[in-house]
Structure 1
Amino acid sequence: MATIKPHGPNVLITGTPGTGKSTIGTELATRTGLKYINIGDLAKEEELYEGYDEEYQCPILNEDRVIDELEDTMSLGGNIVDYHSCEFFPERWFDIVFVLRTDNSLLYDRLQNRIEKEK
């Protein structure tokens, strides 16, 4: 049985980079008054990393520290979380999960425009 959170539901928006998670998440937050949490931004602000991946040229997220950082916030509810995967989040946190997808030809162009690393 789901627990009713005092500040509203928690929503997870997940999917491949470039599918529109941030766009939809921020718009949904604006329209609903829920708090938007971009995990990438949170990790940067709070330095929630455990190293650096030389091959992919990016920091390695410390998932345990992310969970610890968000536990109290998520228990209150009223959050929209944006991240490209979902497997490390506790299932109990979310009332609904949206997985975004897009056509690969559109996705490639979007990522090229962001100057994402080829890998």
Structure 2
Amino acid sequence: MVENSGSEKAIAISGTPGTGKSAVGALVSRSLGFWLVELSNYVLENKLYVSYDDERLSFVVDEPKLREHLRRLIAERGRVLVVGHYSEIVDDDILDKIIVLRINPMELAERLSRRGWPPKKVFENVEAELIGVCTSNALLEHPPDKVCEVDVTGKSVEDVSKEVIEIVTGKRQCKIFIDWLSDEAVVNRVLSLTMSY
């Protein structure tokens, strides 16, 4: 296992597909001078997968290999920004913060539908956002003081990037505060969405 000196730790950006992780990550990495790692591309380029899931239309990641690759990259590069909906995979001892981008599930449904995603895949991701899967996954791997949420609903990439930079630099509080399940109107709209699929 590659050791990290502890002087530099990674930042991660997570979120359901469609929340703007890639665009925000690109802007944040340029602004802060971080090496950007887009997990999906990184996994494919380095063949860090074990199979392809035809039903989910995605590759199944070889987690031990990916963790080791990330550990080595962070040890070599130092300031690394890891972006992906499973970026909680970065080992806790080499992670400073994980910022989870959250979005109103109905806005997410509109975004994914505009991208031409199959209805089943749209609903799967809307449901994941509704129940906070990315935040829950981050909390399974990291303590709450390292897990931060940013609500991207109705915001520009620039505004979201500014919030992320403020969290990373300590100018904005890192907190978990989004609970779409407590908003009855959102839940009812998501349930009605299931009827259309």
Q: TM-score, normalised by structure 1?
A: 0.86
Change in 2 beyond 3 A, CA 1:93/1:116: farther
- Aligned to 2:89, the other structure's residue is in SS state coil
Query: Where does the alignment leave 5 or more consecutive residues of structure 1 unmatched?
Result: none
Q: Show structure 2 runs of 5+ residues with no match.
A: 122-197
Distance across 2 between alignment mates of 1:86 and 1:14: 6
Q: Which residue of 1 is the match for residue 50 of structure 2?
A: 50
Q: Structure 1 CA distance, aligned partners of 2:40 and 2:14?
A: 12
CA distance in 2, matches of 1:88, 1:33: 22
Matches within 5 A, 1:1-119: 3-5=6-8, 9-76=9-76, 77-117=78-118, 118-119=120-121
Distance in 1 between the 2:87 and 2:103 partners?
18
Task: Describe the SS at the equivalent of 2:18.
Answer: coil
Partner Cα separation in structure 1 for residue 108 and residue 60 of structure 2: 23
Deviation at 1:18, TM superposition (A): 0.8
Secondary structure of the corresponding residue to residue 106 of structure 1: helix
Which range moves more in the overlay, 33-42 or 74-83? 74-83
Q: Deviations over 1:73-112 (max 9, x none)?
A: 1124200000112443311121111111001111011112
Question: Secondary structure in 1 aligned to 2:75?
Answer: helix
Q: Which has the bigger relative contact order, CA under 8 A and spacing at least 6?
A: 1
Aligned equivalents of 2:40, 2:100: Cα separation in 1:
17
What is the alpha-carbon distance in structure 2 between the residues aligned to residue 3 and residue 63 of structure 1?
Answer: 22
Structure in which a larger fraction of residues adopt strand:
1
Q: Give the partner amino acid of 2:108.
A: L
TM-score, normalisation: structure 2: 0.54
CA distance in 1, matches of 2:31, 2:12: 16
Deviation at residue 70 of structure 1 after TM alignment: 1.7
Q: Return 68-77 or 46-55, whichever deviates more.
A: 68-77
Q: For residues 75 and 14 of structure 1, do their structure 2 counterparts lie closer, same or farther at Cα, with a shift above 3 Å needed? A: same
Once residues 65 and 114 of structure 1 are traced to their aligned partners in structure 2, the CA distance between those partners, rounded to angstroms, is 31
Give the drift of 1:25. Answer: 0.6
Alignment RMSD, CA only?
1.8
Give the superposition deviation at 1:34: 0.7
Rg larger in structure: 2
Q: Identity across aligned pairs (percent)?
A: 28
